[in-house]
Structure 1
Amino acid sequence: MTECDDDVIRVASWNIEHNGISNSGDDVRWHLAMDILAELQPDVLLRQELTRAEMYGQRAVWAESRRLGGHIPFLAGATPESANPTGVYVDPDVFRPTKFFEHRTGMWHPVCNPVVQIDGAPSELSLASFHLCSFDPAMRATEAHRLAMLGKPGMAAIIGGDCNSYPHRPVDETVPLPAWSSTTDRSLFQSRTIVRDGKRVSDTVPDEILAGEHDGLPPVFVELGHYAATVLGQSTAAGHPDPLAPTSSLWRTDQGEMRRIDRIYATPQIAKTLIRLEVIVNDDVREASDHGIVQATFSGPGMRRELSPTALSDEGLVAA
């Protein structure tokens, strides 16, 4: 087998609308979502909208863990503002958890942040699932600044989730920024735009904070869809899935075209080990949720190499 088929690490991020459970308690969509994830077999699953999953002793969390084959679950807390917490599941055959943090920046979704070691690598890898605020651009910027702290010197991280905002390099995107004049959901316009140079424009600030280059400084994180398209040259012309494919909304018709609001980021040394990135949208995914799945596949040997103290020092990430 090639490295792509054999020793790889798969990280998936998925916002399953209201955890796949209707207000009446119907859980058909949840079971379908679990079937999809069981087939994908991600080593790390970054989840958003684990609605009311903290109830009854986190019964829903452990049920999802079983359907994933025994992944270790981590759940951030719900808040008075939202009953849709974030979570992370990790495969114990690949990772050994060492720490767990929950980062609160307000009354919206706390960031779920376990820290793990991968077999064969002594340095730690931070994992985080986030769901940026759906209604307030200023809060999204605050949340992005908090996430940027997970990419401080000496740290390696993979973070992903629902950004509720847009990539900051629209010229490279498969789908352009929204044409707001044709969007009938005016509340979306209010929540997804900012004032820049006296004009209302699409909010790209979180992506600028996480993956933007400023005054010659490199970005804190690498946005993996853009990296796959530009550095790896992953394109549909070569028969590969489009790493810049839109992810949401699969259901709404009043919000204009689908956009790429779900994204995965990695610190630069981890991004170097990316093999491919794909957005998974098929009939089953569309039935299970209003968001597509984003899945990044990394080289296992490459990630272990980059998580060695020597590699981190060579990158200038560890003080001498």
Structure 2
Amino acid sequence: MMGRTTKFRFLVLNGEHDFGGHETPEWRRVHEWIRKELDPDVILRQEMTYSTREGRRGFHAARHALGMTGVMAAGTTLESPNPTGIFVKESGLRLVSDYPQVTNWWHPATQVRVAHVGEHYTTELSLASVHLDCNSPTQRLREAEMAIRWGGTKEVEDEKGQRRQVTQPCIMGGDFNSYSSFPDELGPLPDMAAVRDRHHVVHRTLPDRLTPDTRPWDTLNTAGFTDLALHAHHTLGQRKALRGTSHRRTDQGAVKGQQHPRIDFIFANGSIPEAVERFEVVEVPGGASDHHGLYVVFSPHSFWQAVEETARPR
């Protein structure tokens, strides 16, 4: 185990087709790895493909295997039954509410709020697991535009009758099926003119069919969210935080010996990024997924202070 002590840990993980389902050795091996080696407090999952079957039996098996409570997306599309989900360790957090997302999502997001166990910190934190549309850049942009509201602002009246703005603290992560526009990534964006899989080109580019889609990433940045991998690179000198997160075939632009680009991200708003201590891109044992996980370690005291500071009226 990576030093339980006083750290606060997040894991973002697209488990390709649910690691084969809860009755397979791969599924059991991955969940044991998560529990023993990573020991996260929060997991933002994508592609829980088989977890809805037989009364969500696979979802409940995951809760027990991980020793965590959880929420799974309210539904899936018939064409792509790959729900998202969130797991929370209730030794340090309380899952206080969940908000089913259905309308206008290809893969409905999972969105909840959690609170700190104990009385010292009172602000609720919004968490979201997202899996943006793999087929349509237009739909991905729409989904990103809907997602930013979970870290939105509202006006309140203080004790002096003055109107102030309050931000909802939020951490959001998942498979964005698109790229970042940061110019110095470890994995360069694919040369779409050279990609042989032309369906992949349509799915991952703007209408000119040459420009890789970065609009969801740009949307979250414009809305005040921070890419935590980029924060770890800039602030903590952790260049490896920008490692590629998904395998790509050579007919989809992969170049031998070259890093893949990032398509999985975790974002936070307000002061929350300042509490990050470490960011790792972790490989799933046995190649059980075509995505790597994002593993973020926070200082717990600084983390909740940052959550409170983010929500402070301004």
Q: TM-score range by the shorter chain?
A: 0.7 to 0.9
Measure how far apart 1:303 and its partner are: 1.3
* Contact persistence 1:45–1:89 (CA under 8 A): yes
Q: Which amino acid aligns with 1:159?
A: M
Q: What's the secondary structure of 1:200's corresponding residue?
A: coil
- 1:187 is matched with which residue: 176, 199, 205? 199
Contact 2:246 2:290 in 1 (8 A): yes
Q: CA 1:184 to 1:32, structure 2 compared with 1: closer, same or farther past 3 Å?
A: farther
Q: TM-score, normalised by structure 1?
A: 0.85
Report what 1:239 is aligned to: none
Deviation at 1:90, TM superposition (A): 0.2
Q: Check conservation: 2:277, 2:298, Cα contact below 8 A.
A: yes
| Structure 1 match to 2:9 | 10
Q: How does 1:218-297 map to 2 (within 5 A)?
A: 219-235=223-239, 242-249=240-247, 252-257=249-254, 258-281=260-283, 284=285, 287-297=287-297
Asked whether 1:128 is paired with 2:141, we answer: no
**CA deviation profile, 1:40-92 (whole Å, cap 9, x unmatched):** 111100000000312222110111111112x0110002222321000000001
Deviation at 1:230, TM superposition (A): 1.0
Across the aligned residues of Structure 1 and Structure 2, the Cα RMSD in angstroms comes to 2.0
CA distance in 1, matches of 2:99, 2:145: 16
**Number of the residue aligned with 2:156:** none
1:207-256 CA distance string (max 9 Å, x none): 000014xxxxxx42100111110122223xxxxxx000001026x44323
Alignment correspondent of 2:170? 157
Mapped to 2, the partners of 1:312 and 1:210 lie a distance apart of 16
Residue of structure 2 equivalent to 1:175: 187
8 Å CA contact 2:232, 2:241 repeated in 1: yes
> 1:6 Cα deviation (Å)?
3.2
Q: Following the alignment from structure 2 to structure 1, what is the Cα–Cα distance between the partners of residues 29 and 287? A: 8
| 2:162 alignment partner in structure 1 | none
Q: Return closer, same or farther for 1:166/1:96 CA change in 2, 3 Å cut-off.
A: same
Query: What is the CA distance between 1:205 and its match in structure 2?
Result: 0.2
In structure 2, the residue matched to 1:145 is: 145
Worse-superposed segment, 180-189 or 223-232: 180-189
C-alpha displacement at 1:26, in angstroms?
A: 6.9
Counterpart residue type for residue 45 of structure 1: I
Q: TM-score, normalised by structure 2?
A: 0.87
User: Deviations 1:6-65 (Å, cap 9, x if unpaired)?
Assistant: 32211001111110117xx97232122212212211110000000031222211011111
Give 3-state SS (helix, strand or coil) of 1:211's partner: helix
Partner of 1:32: 29
Question: SS state of the match for residue 247, structure 1?
Answer: coil
- 1: CA distance between counterparts of 2:102 and 2:56? 20
Q: Which amino acid aligns with 2:151?
A: G
| Sequence identity (%) | 34
Q: Which 5+ residue runs of structure 1 have no aligned equivalent? A: 213-218, 236-241
Are 1:105 and 1:142, in contact at CA under 8 Å, matched by a contact in 2? Answer: no
Q: Which residue of 1 aligns with 2:88?
A: 90
**Do the aligned residues in 1 keep the contact of 2:193 with 2:210 (CA within 8 Å)?**
no
Q: Which residue does the alignment assign to 2:215?
A: 205
The separation in 2 between residues aligned to 1:277 and 1:254, in whole angstroms, is: 30
**Alpha-carbon distance between aligned partners in 2 of 1:177 and 1:58, rounded to the nearest angstrom:** 38
Q: Is the 8 A contact 2:31 2:65 kept in 1?
A: yes
Whether contact under 8 Å (2:69, 2:89) holds in the other structure is yes
Runs of 4+ in structure 1 displaced over 4 angstroms? none
Q: How does 1:11-90 map to 2 (within 5 A)?
A: 11-21=10-20, 27-38=24-35, 39-69=37-67, 71-76=68-73, 77-90=75-88
- In structure 2, C-alpha distance between the alignment counterparts of 1:143 and 1:199, rounded to whole Å: 21
Query: How many residues get paired?
Result: 290
